[in-house]
Structure formats: C-alpha cells, structure tokens
Amino acid sequence: MKCFLCFQLLRSSGFMTWHPTSSTLSRVPIIRRQFFTTSLTTLSSQTSSRSILPPSSEAQRREEESKEMEISQLVGKHRKRQNRVYVWGFSYTGALGEASFVKPKLKKGKPVTSRRKYQTAPYLLNQDRKVITSVACGYGFTLLASNTLETTKVWGTGINTDSQLGYQPKSIQKDEGLEYILAPVPIDLPLTRPRSARVTQIACGRAHSLILTDTEGVFSLGNNVHGQCGRTVVEKENYSSNRVIHNVQGIDGKIKQIQCGHDHSLFLTEEGAVYSCGWGADGQLGLGHYESVDLPMRLEGDIKGERIVEIATFADCCLAVSDKGELFGWGNSEYNQLNSITDETQVYEPRHLPFTGVGKVVGAATGGTICQLVNDTGDVFVWGYGILGKGPKLSESKWPEHIPSILLGRTKLKPDVKVTQVHCGLHHFAAVTNEGDLYTWGSNGTGHLGLGTLANQFFPLRVSVAADVTSVACGVDHMVLLTKTVI
C-alpha cells in the first residue's frame, strides 16, 4: 500500500512519466533523479533553522549540474545493455570532452550557460553512437577507444601541446601557450590492416600516449624527450603538430598490458616479462641504473624468473604483481612507497615487498605519493603519503593499512561484496566492487572524486551513478568512468 501511494505521489508531482515502448515490453516509468535531490535539499532546509545557503555562484553551479543529471530508465529483458561514459573534474583543459563547459552555448549571440570550471558530479558524455570499451586519463587529456573493426578506433580530447592526441590542426584551440581540443576527435592509427585489428587497451602519461592492438602491437605518440615513446630521441624535435605515430619494436612476445608514468612507459608480455623505456632519473625504469632509455629493455632484479601478471605506475613509482600473489616495486620512494625495504628515496631495480597479513595480491595501483593493493578476497590495503582513507589522523605509512571492508560496501547483509579493481590518481584513490559500485577518496581540489563537492574525502565514499561500473581511469585532476546501463 505504501509503495502504491509513493507511486501515485510521484506521478501526481510530475516527476514520473510513462514512456511507451515496443509491444514486447511493458510500459516503464522514468524517474527523474533531480526529484530526490530537490526533495532532500528541501527537507534539509526545513529541518535545520540554521542552514546557510551557498554563495550564488555555487548555487548556480549546483543548479546547472542538477538539470543535466541523467534520467534512469528501467527496461525489459530484451533491451541490450549499453556502454556509457561519465566524466568529471577540472574542465578548462578540455579533458572532459564537453565543449560547453569551456565555451558556453550561445543563443542569439548570448551565452545561455555559464563556463563551468569544475564538474563535481558524474556527467554523461555524448558518445555520438561510438561504443567505447576502454578509457585513459593523462595530464589534462583523455583517450577513448573502441574494440571495433571500423577504421576509426581511438578518440582524444584535452591538451594536445605535444601531439599526444595526434596531428589535429583543424580541432586545436590555443590559449596562454596551451594547445587543446574541447571535444573528442578521431586519432588515425597507421595500421597495415585496419579492418582486422582491434584496440584492446590505451594508456596516458604526462604528455604521451600508448595504444595497444591485438594484431599490430603498440603505437606511441606525443612527447619523446626521454624516449618514453620507445623510439630514438631526436634532438630539438618539435612536438607541436607532430605527425609521428610510432609502432613500438624490440619486445619479445605478445604484449598484454601497457602503462604510462610521468615520462616513462611499461610493457607486460603474455609470458610475464616486463619491459620499460623513457625517463629513469628516479629508477622508474627498473634497469639497474638511473639513465634514460629510448628503446624498450627487459627488467630483471627480483622479478627475474617470476611470471608477472599485472603492472602499475602513474608518476615515478612502479608496482608489479606475480602469479603467486606477491608484490614487487621500484622507482621513486620519497613518500614511503618502498620504505618497507629501504630508506633510499630511489630504487633502480625491482625489489620484492615483504608485506605480511595482506593475503594473495591480485591487483595494485600507485599514484604520485600513494599506493594500494587488493587481495583475492577483495580486501584493500593502502600506504604512502596523503589522505589514505582511514580518517584525517592517518597521513603516512610505509606498511599497508587495511581499509575496513564496510567502508567499501561489505556488510552483514551483503557479505559477498568485494573490491575487484583498484586505481590511483596523483593524490586520490578509486576502487570498483563486484557489484559495479565505484568508491573514491583522497584530495579533491578540482572535484575529481565525483562526489558533488570540492572538499577532501578522508574515507571511501560511493560515487552516485545510474549504471554498473566496468572500468575507471584516474588523471591528475579529472576522472573518466566506463559503465554499462542497468536493466
């Protein structure tokens, strides 16, 4: 009876409409999410006489965001689930792919919306019929890819000063020394058989990009000052409007994973071997020295003889997971990342990290000053320096600290919930569960946690999005989310 009354209330309020579908499906309700946001806000203001309205600019920002929140639609069993891409964070670089955030829409010569510097909640990106299957974030730019056999497989948006998004003379905007693109544009790959190759993975660094295909290897583009693109460094090479897209060579075996750091690249083969190239001043290449290398070389150290199944890097620290569930690390250790094995601030070859009590490691991630891992039971551990996720009193640790599972969705009523993916931005964390939920925490000065605020988050908090999360990419000041619609 209560459900029926609530249903009638929604219909009479105008916040539920009926959408006619095909004869094979019953008519389904569409509930506008802003109804709940508005109701909660109104209730809060009524119950608290001391509530203070936000400044007009903040109120305007929230109003504009609420108007653009997606409409959730329940559909029948014959409707296919669709891939959807959500973006949030700092917008002025163009990395969010929504041009109106930077250049407001005009009507009769006058702007109808204001510029939006920060998009603090998930924003549904217009994919223009593209089926996006992988996403990646760089320093102010974004890559989107599809595993299609069509000719166009990769798109880019955001900063393109070093041609990390390819040669795009018609799409470039210039402002204060930066070259950027405000909406996704195609990146043409020099494939020998484009109709037979699929893009399986993409990765972004500070100013370079990697693209992995299933039949033609890895392609690199962008800045190559330190050899991070896996090709010979050319003195005084001009990277602005650069046409070079390089097919990386010199790696034995088929590549299964690629990762970009600040100015270095990592490659993992199906046989479990790790290769690296690029800047090596912090030991991030893991080659036993601190020199830069412009052609991929194989790492040894403590991973010699081990079968590595996953690699992770973001800035200048690197982690690797073996098939035995053990963790290895190398590179920068100025912020406790590798202080469990040494007091040195740089480690130039892979070292085994003797962590106890963490179980069998199945995934790892590293940011600028932070690290995290997930084990085979879905428990998450964090260490390093920053907002680690266990409150404001814990800001540094050289040993893994367990994040209470209840903070990531596991309760007595839902004991089977576990984290399956972990990711890091420069100073923030992200974790995805087997139920398709995304949790974020850490620094949040540009709204890149997707929580609807600019405040830092000291504990994991679930991001509100009307879809099942399949993958997420973390940048310095923005994030991109890949989801499937809920049926």
Q: How far is CA 379 from CA 32, 324, 375, in A?
A: 35, 17, 6
Distance CA 402, CA 381 (A): 4
- When mean pLDDT is compared across 84-88, 168-172, 346-350, the lowest value belongs to 168-172
pLDDT in tens, 463-479: 999 999 999 999 999 99
Instruction: Report the 3 state secondary structure along 408-427.
Output: HCCCCCCCCCCEEEEEECCC
Calpha distance 408→475 (Å, rounded):
22
Are 319 and 366 spatial neighbours (Cβ–Cβ below 8 Å)? yes
Question: Quick one: pLDDT at residue 73?
Answer: 55
Q: Name the helix (H) or strand (E) containing 45.
A: helix 33-47
Distance CA 196, CA 349 (A): 38
Note the pLDDT of residue 173. Answer: 84
Cβ contact 254:266 at 8 Å = no
Write the Ramachandran bin of 280: left for phi over 0, alpha for psi from -120 to 50, otherwise beta.
Answer: alpha
Residue-level pLDDT at 385: 98
Integer Cα distance of 88 and 152 in angstroms: 25
Radius of gyration of the chain (CA): 23
What rounded mean pLDDT belongs to the chain? 88
pLDDT of residue 62: 67
Confidence of residue 341 (pLDDT cuts 50, 70, 90): very high
The pLDDT confidence band at residue 78, using thresholds 50, 70 and 90, is low
Complete edge-to-edge strand list for the sheet that includes strand 468-474: 118-124, 83-90, 478-484, 468-474
Q: In this structure, is the dihedral angle defined by the CA atoms of residues 331, 282, 241 and 255, taken in order, positive or negative?
A: negative
Neighbour tally for 20: CB within 10 Å: 8
| Res 74: pLDDT | 54
As a whole number of angstroms, the distance between CA 59 and CA 320 comes to 45
| Residue of 341, 340, 342, 302 lying closest to 324 (CA atoms) | 302
pLDDT at 75: 55
Share of the chain above pLDDT 70, in %: 84
Read off the pLDDT of each residue in 288-303 and give the average, rounded to a whole number: 98
Nearest Cα to Cα of residue 265 among 311, 199, 323, 198 = 311
Predicted pLDDT at 77? 59
pLDDT number for residue 203 = 98
Q: Residue 133 and residue 122: Cα distance in Å, rounded?
A: 18
Q: What pTM was estimated for this model as a whole? A: 0.84
Tell me the average pLDDT across 157-174: 93
Higher pLDDT, 74 or 466: 466
Residue 66 pLDDT grade (very low, low, confident, very high; cuts 50, 70, 90): low
Q: Which residue has the higher pLDDT, 443 or 27?
A: 443
pLDDT at 34: 39
State pLDDT tens for residues 273-284. Answer: 999 999 999 999
Q: What is the pLDDT of residue 70?
A: 58
pLDDT the model gives residue 37 = 38
In whole angstroms, what is the distance from residue 296 CA to residue 287 CA?
A: 10
Q: Given a cut of 60, is residue 49 above it in pLDDT?
A: no
